[in-house]
């Protein structure tokens, strides 16, 4: 079912040297997608009364694509890319992030989060302010803390920059819950949140994201050598296909098995999706009064008078 | 015969900004007049924006609202179709499309089918209209006016054509979705609509005028692609996707006669047959209705009896 795709093409290309693997059912018209996402960015900013935006640029493909889309929507001079490495972040991440900044000609800043994170967890023999519980914290806790530290930096920087924070999470990771709540998923709006990772790659290739970024193994880079695909136990094309047929095309387990998906994989992905439902929704509020936000007080986010100016 | 010049106002209304949108309608009417239009068509809820939710009640107007009368006056010697949230005397809210002619609101069509599935939630906020009829127009032909989802039900274009419409007008706020490389224009919604409209124009041997909005409300993008289709089913004009614009299209109303003489589908329609069979189907459905409120293990006595008789008929 899967075909290899060259830059910007939905069709098969020579397997050798193909930038990425694109399952054919996930191929989209990148011109239309780009048009919609760029319009969405402009519209969201305009409605909120902002002319500028900022993103956390990691060196990975998701934030690189969003940087390109924002630059196309409002011009690179109105975009601030903030790089927020931790001491163990790979040199490759920083290098690739710079590549995006250079190619776009946008503003950038680097804010190291090492002291913020180490200040809490401690560094070597130096204890942190998080006390004993923080000292032996797992990689997961540390990773989540880093993601949230970046969110704090980004939201703080949004004030002097006078811009909105644009989200960079994709549909695949949102569906399986491979995000940190109030961390990397925190944003004012997200233009790529309905694109599977394979589709992110397709649009990234079409819009001119540097090849090195498209080629490398996706990683949250929360610890050295971490890669998404090793952590999840799936390759993105496999996972994207399964999610697409399961969710977008409403195929039952039986139908998915007939299609050739592995039974255990189906069960595992279904569980990941169900367990992470809370990450995709606004926190619930106990219904008490006559009109409750999100329940029976239902207004568009943006309406006349809602822009800050 | 002088061609009829249609102006398609493929615009992006501002959500909830009634006064701004009214002003834009006035400007567009002026531009349409300057361009020599005889018929100006605005998109669904062009006066209010689409994703209104609880704002609907705040932007609602009665059909006799002076602001609509103002637009009717501005339309002057043209025919115009505008769409707004209509509040009825009994305070139901409708998604309505009004025909403005000769300085007055001549006719109001209330959207019949309110999609409440997928990304749509119209029934929560609006009441469904219950009248479907073509309207006499100063253009010399009857018009059949419908709103968006109305055209996803076969009976609507058919009924309008049988009621004498020669120009079917559909005003829409169709959200673009189902992006895939397999679709003609990269967008599943656009591909489906194009199929529908060509088919309707041909089967009713009528002109079909489709005005769809552009811009975004909240998360959804409206795809535009407004069209005019000839009674032969051929597209005479297709507006670009996603771009706002006022587009002028000339049509020969004589094409309806030519098409209907050559391809007398409408002459051969059998509304009496349709009605008879519909009556039968309705009667059967009513008799056969399963009581959904009861437990599956405890069907009503009436239903049981009907099922038993049906089985006996089958066996007999």
Q: What pLDDT score was predicted for residue A220?
A: 81
Per-residue buried b or exposed e for A237-258, using 16+ beta carbons within 10 Å of the residue's own CB: bbbbbbbbbbeeeebeeeebee
Find the closest chain B residue to A33 by CA distance: B179
Percentage of chain B beyond pLDDT 90 is: 82
Q: What pLDDT score was predicted for residue A165?
A: 98
pLDDT in tens, A213-257: 999 888 888 777 788 887 778 899 999 999 999 999 999 999 999
Average pLDDT over residues A109-115: 97
d(CA A210, CA A189): 24
Q: Count the Cβ atoms, other than its own, within 10 Å of residue A233.
A: 10
pLDDT greater than 90 at residue B296: no
**Cα angle value A150/A156/A159 (rounded, 5°):** 145
Out of A27, A40, A304, the one facing B16 most closely (by C-beta) is: A304
Encoding tokens for residue B157?
């274009």
State the pairing for strand pair A20-23/A2-5.
antiparallel
Distance from CA of B182 to the nearest CA of A (A): 8
* Reported confidence tier of residue B306, pLDDT bands at 50, 70, 90: low
Q: What residues of chain B have any CB closer than 8 angstroms to a CB in chain A?
A: 14-17, 51-55, 176, 179-183, 185-187, 215-219, 221, 241-242
d(CA A93, CA A219): 10
Residues in chain A closer than 8 A to B241 (CB atoms):
32, 35
Q: Where are the domains of chain A?
A: 2-280
Find the closest chain B residue to A195 by CA distance: B179
pLDDT greater than 70 at residue B300: no
pLDDT greater than 90 at residue B229: yes
Out of A31, A40, A304, the one facing B17 most closely (by C-beta) is: A304
- A224 inside 8 A of chain B by CB: no
Q: Do B181 and A43 touch (CB under 8 A)?
A: no
- A306 inside 8 A of chain B by CB: no
Out of A29, A39, A300, the one facing B242 most closely (by C-beta) is: A39
Lowest-pLDDT range of A281-290, B269-278, B290-299 = B290-299
**DSSP secondary structure code for residue B242 in this structure:** S
Encoding tokens for residue A99?
């590549």
Q: What pLDDT score was predicted for residue A13?
A: 39
Greatest distance between any 2 Cα atoms in chain A:
63
ipTM computed for the complex: 0.84
Residues in chain A closer than 8 A to B54 (CB atoms):
297-299
- Three-class SS of residue A51? coil
pLDDT greater than 90 at residue B184: no
* Reported confidence tier of residue A172, pLDDT bands at 50, 70, 90: very high
Greatest distance between any 2 Cα atoms in chain B:
72
DSSP structure string for A230-290: HHHTS-HHHHHHHHIIIIIS---HHHHHHTT--HHHHHHHHHHHHHTGGGGSPPP----SS
pLDDT greater than 50 at residue B104: yes
Percentage of chain A beyond pLDDT 90 is: 81
Residue with tokens 């959500």: B15
Fold for domain A2-280? Answer: Rossmann fold (3.40.50)
- A46 inside 8 A of chain B by CB: no
CA R_g for chain A: 20
Best residue in A29, A291, A297 for a mutation probing chain B (most B CBs within 10 Å): A29
Q: Strands, DSSP E only, in chain B?
A: 4-10, 39-41, 79-87, 93-101, 104-110, 142-147, 165-172, 207-212, 216-217, 220-221, 227-229, 235-238, 245-251
Residues in chain B closer than 8 A to A35 (CB atoms):
241-242
Distance from CA of A10 to the nearest CA of B (A): 7
pLDDT in tens, A143-162: 999 999 999 999 999 999 99
* Reported confidence tier of residue B152, pLDDT bands at 50, 70, 90: very high
Find the closest chain B residue to A35 by CA distance: B242
Average pLDDT over residues B230-252: 97
Q: What pLDDT score was predicted for residue A11?
A: 39
Q: Do B218 and A303 touch (CB under 8 A)?
A: no
Distance from CA of A251 to the nearest CA of B (A): 16
CA R_g for chain B: 21
What is the rounded average pLDDT for all residues in chain A? 91
Q: What pLDDT score was predicted for residue B188?
A: 86
- A35 inside 8 A of chain B by CB: yes
Answer with the residue of higher pLDDT: A292 or B295: A292
Q: What pLDDT score was predicted for residue B307?
A: 65
Average pLDDT over residues A46-64: 96
Lowest-pLDDT range of A82-86, A118-122, A218-222 = A218-222
Average pLDDT over residues B28-44: 98
Distance from CA of B95 to the nearest CA of A (A): 18
Residue with tokens 């088919």: B199
Find the closest chain B residue to A26 by CA distance: B180
Q: What pLDDT score was predicted for residue B157?
A: 98
Q: Count the Cβ atoms, other than its own, within 10 Å of residue A104.
A: 22
Q: Do B216 and A40 touch (CB under 8 A)?
A: yes
Distance from CA of A111 to the nearest CA of B (A): 32
Distance from CA of A239 to the nearest CA of B (A): 18
Helix (H), strand (E) at residue A104: helix A91-104
**Exposed/middle/buried for residue A159 (C-beta within 10 Å: 0-12, 13-18, 19+):** exposed
Instruction: Judge whether B221 and A67 are in contact, CB under 8 Å.
Output: no
Average pLDDT over residues A158-170: 98
Answer with the residue of higher pLDDT: A146 or A7: A146
d(CA B1, CA A308): 55
Give start and end residues of each alpha helix (H) in chain A.
30-48, 61-74, 91-104, 114-121, 131-135, 139-161, 171-176, 197-207, 211-215, 228-232, 236-243, 253-258, 263-275
Which domains does chain B carry? Answer: 4-266 (3.60.110.10), 272-315 (no CATH)
- What is the Cβ-side half-sphere exposure of residue A71, based on CA atoms within 13 angstroms? 22
Give helix then strand counts, H and E, for chain A: 13, 6
Closest CA to B82 of B61, B67, B99: B99
d(CA A303, CA B5): 35
Q: What pLDDT score was predicted for residue A6?
A: 38
Q: Give the C-alpha distances (Å, rounded to integers) separating A172 from A178, A254, B114, B244.
A: 8, 22, 32, 33
Q: What pLDDT score was predicted for residue B192?
A: 92
Q: What pLDDT score was predicted for residue B302?
A: 55
Average pLDDT over residues B106-123: 96
Q: Do A32 and B241 touch (CB under 8 A)?
A: yes
Query: Which phi and psi (to 5°) does residue A14 adopt?
Result: -60, 135
Distance from CA of B293 to the nearest CA of A (A): 26
Residues 6+ apart with CB under 8 A from B283: none
Q: Give the C-alpha distances (Å, rounded to integers) separating B194 from A101, B212, B213.
A: 42, 12, 15
Query: Which phi and psi (to 5°) does residue A293 adopt?
Result: -60, 135
Out of B54, B185, B219, the one facing A297 most closely (by C-beta) is: B54
- A6 inside 8 A of chain B by CB: no
Lowest-pLDDT range of A33-37, B102-106, B149-153, B308-312 = B308-312
Answer with the residue of higher pLDDT: B1 or B11: B11
Instruction: Judge whether A208 and A144 are in contact, CB under 8 Å.
Output: no
Distance from CA of B221 to the nearest CA of A (A): 7
Answer with the residue of higher pLDDT: A196 or A125: A196
Average pLDDT over residues B183-196: 86
d(CA B83, CA B98): 6
Closest CA to B162 of B277, B267, B279: B267
Distance from CA of A11 to the nearest CA of B (A): 9
Q: What pLDDT score was predicted for residue B315?
A: 64
Closest CA to B84 of B51, B62, B102: B62
Closest CA to B211 of B249, B177, B165, B163: B249
d(CA A68, CA B60): 41
* Reported confidence tier of residue B304, pLDDT bands at 50, 70, 90: low
- A49 inside 8 A of chain B by CB: no
Q: Give the C-alpha distances (Å, rounded to integers) separating A46 from A186, A302, B202.
A: 20, 10, 42
Average pLDDT over residues A42-68: 96
- What is the Cβ-side half-sphere exposure of residue A148, based on CA atoms within 13 angstroms? 11
Query: Which phi and psi (to 5°) does residue B227 adopt?
Result: -140, 160
**DSSP secondary structure code for residue A163 in this structure:** E
Best residue in B23, B116, B186 for a mutation probing chain A (most A CBs within 10 Å): B186
d(CA A103, CA A9): 22
Closest CA to B262 of B232, B230, B229, B236: B232
- A40 inside 8 A of chain B by CB: yes
Residues in chain A closer than 8 A to B216 (CB atoms):
39-40, 43
């Amino acid at each position: 079912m899967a075909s290899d795709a060259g830059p910007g093409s939905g069709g098969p290309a020579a397997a050798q040297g193909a930038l990425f693997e694109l399952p054919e059912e996930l191929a989209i018209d990148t011109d239309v997608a780009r048009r919609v996402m760029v319009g969405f960015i402009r519209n969201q900013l305009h409605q909120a009364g902002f002319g500028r935006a900022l993103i956390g640029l990691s060196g990975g493909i998701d934030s690189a694509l969003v940087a390109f889309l924002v630059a196309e929507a409002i011009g690179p001079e109105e975009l601030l890319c903030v790089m927020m490495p931790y001491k163990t972040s790979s040199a490759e991440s920083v290098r690739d992030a710079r590549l995006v900044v250079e190619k776009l000609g946008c503003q950038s800043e680097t804010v190291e989060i090492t002291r913020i994170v180490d200040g809490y967890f401690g560094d070597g023999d130096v204890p942190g302010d998080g006390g004993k519980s923080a000292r032996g914290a797992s990689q997961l806790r540390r990773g989540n803390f880093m993601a949230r530290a970046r969110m704090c930096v980004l939201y703080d920087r949004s004030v002097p920059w006078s811009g909105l924070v644009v989200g960079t999470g994709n549909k695949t990771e949102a569906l399986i819950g491979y995000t940190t709540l109030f961390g990397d998923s925190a944003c004012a709006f997200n233009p790529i949140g309905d694109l599977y990772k394979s589709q992110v790659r397709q649009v990234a290739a079409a819009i001119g994201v540097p090849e090195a970024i498209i080629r490398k193994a996706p990683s949250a880079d929360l610890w050295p050598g971490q890669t998404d695909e090793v952590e999840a136990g799936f390759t993105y094309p496999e996972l994207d296909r399964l999610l697409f047929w399961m969710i977008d095309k409403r195929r039952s387990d039986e139908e998915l098995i007939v299609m050739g998906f592995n039974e255990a994989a189906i069960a595992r992905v279904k569980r990941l999706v169900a367990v992470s439902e809370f990450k995709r929704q606004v926190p619930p509020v106990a219904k008490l009064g006559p009109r409750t936000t999100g329940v029976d007080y239902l207004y568009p986010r943006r309406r006349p008078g809602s822009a800050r100016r | 015969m002088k061609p009829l010049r249609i102006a398609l106002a493929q615009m992006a209304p501002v959500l909830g900004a009634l006064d701004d949108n009214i002003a834009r309608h006035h400007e567009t009417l002026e531009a349409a007049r300057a361009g020599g239009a005889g018929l100006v068509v605005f998109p669904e809820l062009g006066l209010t924006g689409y994703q209104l939710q609880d704002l609907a009640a705040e932007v609602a107007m009665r059909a006799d609202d002076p602001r609509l009368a103002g637009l009717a006056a501005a339309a002057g010697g043209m025919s115009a179709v505008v769409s707004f949230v209509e509040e009825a005397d009994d305070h139901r809210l409708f998604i309505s499309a009004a025909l403005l002619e000769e300085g007055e609101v001549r006719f109001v069509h209330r959207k019949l089918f309110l999609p409440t599935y997928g990304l749509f939630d119209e029934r929560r906020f609006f009441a469904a209209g219950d009248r479907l009829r073509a309207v006499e127009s100063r253009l010399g032909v009857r018009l059949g006016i419908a709103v968006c989802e109305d055209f996803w039900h076969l009976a609507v274009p058919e009924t309008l054509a049988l009621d004498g419409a020669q120009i079917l007008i559909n005003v829409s706020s169709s959200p673009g979705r189902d992006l895939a490389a397999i679709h003609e224009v990269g967008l599943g919604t656009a591909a489906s609509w194009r199929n529908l409209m060509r088919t309707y124009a041909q089967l009713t041997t009528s002109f079909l005028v489709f005005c769809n909005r552009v811009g975004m409300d909240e998360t959804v993008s409206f795809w535009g692609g407004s069209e005019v289709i000839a009674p032969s089913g051929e597209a005479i004009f297709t507006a670009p996707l996603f771009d706002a614009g006022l587009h002028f299209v000339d049509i020969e109303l004589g094409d309806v006669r030519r098409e209907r003489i050559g391809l007398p589908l409408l002459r051969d329609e059998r509304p009496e047959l349709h009605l008879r069979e519909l009556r039968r189907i309705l009667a059967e459905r009513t008799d056969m209705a399963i009581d959904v409120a009861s437990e599956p293990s405890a069907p009503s006595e009436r239903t049981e009896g009907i099922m038993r008789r049906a089985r006996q008929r089958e066996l007999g």
